[in-house]
Amino acid sequence: MDPGTNQHLTERVAALENQVAVLQQQLVGRPKARLPDPEKLSGATRYDTWLPLIKAKLRIDADAIGTDEAQFFYLYGHPKKK
């Protein structure tokens, strides 16, 4: 077999394995968050009390929030719970 074909097949298998993992995660679903959402940082929110809450939220509920990109968007603009 041609070495180029081997490389192509290896890459294709890796891509299919990744796709299976993504589909399995969708079937299982994402875990539920365990910590409440901290208030959105605003003028009325004290940074020194907000920072430890948001760090804990991102650490404990990372799987529930998602990828690093999803966590960034959560941090940047998550809505305040009413």
Output the pLDDT for position 56: 95
Domain that holds residue 65: 32-82
Residue 38: count other Cβ atoms within 10 Å of its Cβ. 20
Output the pLDDT for position 26: 72
Task: Give the dihedral of Cα atoms 64, 76, 42, 54; nearest 10 deg.
Answer: 40
Task: Clarify whether residues 36 and 23 are in a common domain.
Answer: no
Biggest alpha carbon–alpha carbon distance for the chain: 67
- Each of the 82 residues of the chain gets a pLDDT tens digit; together they read 676 788 899 999 999 998 888 877 777 777 889 999 988 877 777 888 889 999 999 999 998 988 898 899 888 876 544 4
**pTM of this prediction?**
0.57
Task: Identify whether the C-beta of residue 52 lies closer than 8 Å to the C-beta of residue 72.
Answer: no
Task: Clarify whether residues 58 and 18 are in a common domain.
Answer: no
Q: How many domains does the chain have?
A: 2
∠ CA 18-26-21, rounded to 5°: 20
Task: Clarify whether residues 26 and 36 are in a common domain.
Answer: no
Task: Clarify whether residues 47 and 81 are in a common domain.
Answer: yes
